[in-house]
Structure 1
């Protein structure tokens, strides 16, 4: 029986590709967009392949459970929830205001949390289901300028770790997907703070300059990333052996390299501080 996928943010990039990959593998897909009109091309492509589209703004607390319930009614159940919708707010931490911070967290963290809560009763009742949370390499390694974006992704990763342990007895799988730089419109859609950039933060300016030269030149192929994600969820193909075996799925050479540097740095910190850490017990 074909699995039913509920995928947020299918209006572009990785969300579109995951939807198309699932549809090409004879799965049923319900995708969400904030506006059918603004995403008319992607909506048409997905619907022409047999997918269904619902409108959803994940920052709307009341809409999330209502739209998920509507999605469940279309095919009787949802088997895979993919929390993909999100955006990046970049700027020095000092330059980012409260309202901007709230909007970033509402989209990248609270939205997924709402949909996870909506999905879990059905998943628990059937003792099966998969939750895929698309975070980022920024979810394990925060660069200058990415403070709030990284915070939102770190938060989703922390929630996912606990969630995976809570839901394991119900045969519910949780997969954290951490893409590096993939050739989507991600960099062209970056949001900047309302406050002008504080010039003292040269490291932030350097990252902005790097991102501006990378747009359209990212090494990652989003169609290949979508294929690996589908395989890890479905248990088929190259990444099929990962189904239910891994919590984190880094994607891209750059992500693997930053993972390795982060692990090395954390190991060095632990080695340096172990004696001090162990000196604090009664």
Structure 2
């Protein structure tokens, strides 16, 4: 890899899990230049020492806009540009919607949604000035499919999917690509410090959120992907020539879950299409008309 083909990367959340795997691959298996980040620089400095001329370690709190601005400035000052941003930093939360308090909900939203928005709003101006760049954000399958017990995590990731779908349309004409990375289950630090459990437990949710809560204490199943696989895929998409996908599912479980949801939605749209189309008819809506249409669907 030459200076002409090497690009400048900025990766968030590199102290463990997928971020650690990605930072390690950047240092050991590519010629790219990169800024790798953790809440404390010391958490990622050992990776930078593998290739200190190409890899720089620094601290970053994505919920702090001053910290975010500083890391963008650091990247551009170190390498002159920013080609690829990987939004990997995030937190998890287990608990039924009713079980979670305001603080638990705010924590997830502040990191996953608002923290990622901080990164986007700080990085896009640099990429826009360059008229080039690539953004890869980990929205996970949790951003496409909601499941009992992780509803607030889903909410933060669903919001990111909406943001990135719109962003792709806004910045695409300016030479900036956007990809939402949607891995299935893979071995990560989320079953350690990254996943928080609701302080309040309501027994009525034992069969739904409670099952998810219990699963966190178990080992990952054999089918769970290794984070190095996810990291390799992200690297390959980040450096590929041509237009990358808007969404990229990673893992057979992610592909199966996506197809299952799309097929379910297609069936439901078809079933209720006659009721839905009534809203486009002129005149004042008739309750009896809707009642009749619903009765025709439900039998």
Task: State how 1:69-108 maps to structure 2 within 5 Å.
Answer: 69-108=73-112
Shift of 1:68: 1.5
In structure 2, runs of 5+ residues without a counterpart are: 283-299
* Contact in 1 for aligned 2:105/2:152 (Cα 8 Å): yes
Q: Superposed, which structure 2 residues align to 1:116-195 within 5 Å? A: 116-189=120-193, 190-194=195-199
Structure 2 CA distance, aligned partners of 1:258 and 1:273? 23
Report what 2:262 is aligned to: 263
Matched, 1:67 2:67: no
Partner of 1:215: 220
2:86 partner SS: strand
Tell me the SS of whatever aligns to 1:94: helix
Aligned with residue 34 of structure 2, among 26, 29, 36: 29
- How many residue pairs were aligned? 272
Shift of 1:86: 0.5
What TM-score results when the alignment is normalised by the length of structure 1? 0.91
Shift of 1:218: 5.4
| Largest Rg, 1 or 2 | 2
Cα gap change, 1:78 to 1:245, in 2 (>3 Å): closer
Shift of 1:82: 0.6
Measure how far apart 1:177 and its partner are.
0.4
Q: Say which SS state the counterpart of residue 143 (structure 1) adopts.
A: coil
User: Quick check: 1:184–1:216 contact (8 Å CA) kept in 2?
Assistant: no
Q: CA deviation at 1:35?
A: 1.7
Gaps of 5+ in 1: none
Moved over 3 A (4+): 214-218
- The corresponding residue for 2:236 is 231
SS for the counterpart of 1:57 is coil
Tell me which residue corresponds to 1:48.
Answer: 50
Distance 1:30 1:130 in 2: 15
Instruction: Say which SS state the counterpart of residue 48 (structure 1) adopts.
Output: coil
SS state at 1:165 partner: helix
